[in-house]
Amino acid sequence: MNTRCLLSAFLCMIMSAVFAEEPAASQTKERLVVMGGPITEIVFALGGEKDIVGVDKTSLYPARAQKFPQVGVVRAISPEGVLSMNPTKIISSSSLGPPAAASQLKASGIPLVLVDNPKSEKSLMEAIATLGKEINREKEAEELIKKLTDELAVVNELASKQTSPRVIFLMGMAGSLSAAGEETQAGGILSMAGGKNIFSGFRGYKPVSEEAILEAKPDFILVANHTSQGDVSAPDDPKKLLQKFGFKSVNALEKTKIVPIDMGEFLIIGPRTGETALKLAKIFSKPADTAGN
């Protein structure tokens, strides 16, 4: 080998060492703290997992998200806990709170991205596109949007073949039964599945009386439990849960199908929504008086 060959081989070695180093260096650059179940789920689905250094306690899905260091609950965060993770970016659902904690994070100078929990097909696609940009995964975001659009078209087709059932979503929380109104994830998923939310005349969640529920003559009542410790699993016996929260005449609802709902599965409008909306549309397609309670 002459000197020239030796020199180019040497240069080649140096160049490949430099380029081999580069991806590793950029991989360790981002340190994301991600908060809010639906937001975390989208970041995971886009492949952003390797950049995550912390999540909040509502980030339950996928199950491996629960293994990451936790920074509390998104609605009641401690800013010190978040900042102690030395994040390069904080990505959170806009339910970030309390307000003083949110202001402290804003003032920290670390980029803070707030995204509304999706509550409709449109806002789901917007959230995926925004998060795709924020974590540099725009191609993955486009693919996920396409997949969900196709899945939801199937749900839409099924829903369009039946008369919209009249539905109430009730959540037992903090000692009372509240119904989901407009601008809720519950309202969003039930209308994607072809249902009509009877209580759409208000925003958010509101306690409703037993009389109002009985008068509304719902075809379906979806019942969920949400403990103050964050247990959102489906109630074993939804009728008992209604009674526990003060509903006396469950038996007067003989024409209504009462369905237990796992909020972590059904109410997160995110990457799984094509599947969950289809499940719900199939439940809605069974006539209430023959499906059994």
- For binding to ligand HEM (CB under 6 A), which residues are involved? 37, 57-58, 60, 73, 75, 180, 184-186, 204-205, 226, 229-230, 232, 263-264, 267-268
Strand pairing report for 220-225 and 166-173: parallel
The CB-of-146 to ligand HEM minimum distance in angstroms stands at 25
Of 257 and 272, the one with the shorter C-beta distance to ligand HEM is 272
Rounded CA separation 126/34 (Å): 18
The CB-of-205 to ligand HEM minimum distance in angstroms stands at 4
The CB-of-172 to ligand HEM minimum distance in angstroms stands at 11
Of 124 and 180, the one with the shorter C-beta distance to ligand HEM is 180
Of 226 and 272, the one with the shorter C-beta distance to ligand HEM is 226
Query: What are the backbone angles phi and psi of residue 214, rounded to the nearest 5°?
Result: -65, -40
Of 37 and 218, the one with the shorter C-beta distance to ligand HEM is 37
The CB-of-230 to ligand HEM minimum distance in angstroms stands at 3
Mention every residue, 6+ apart, whose C-beta is less than 8 A from residue 134.
89, 91, 113
Give the bridge partners for 169, in sequence order: 222
Tokens 């996920």 appear where? 144
Contact yes or no for 185/154 (Cβ under 8 A): no
Output the six-digit token pair for 112: 């803070």
Of 164 and 233, the one with the shorter C-beta distance to ligand HEM is 233
Instruction: Give the DSSP H or E segment for 113.
Output: strand 112-115
The CB-of-138 to ligand HEM minimum distance in angstroms stands at 27
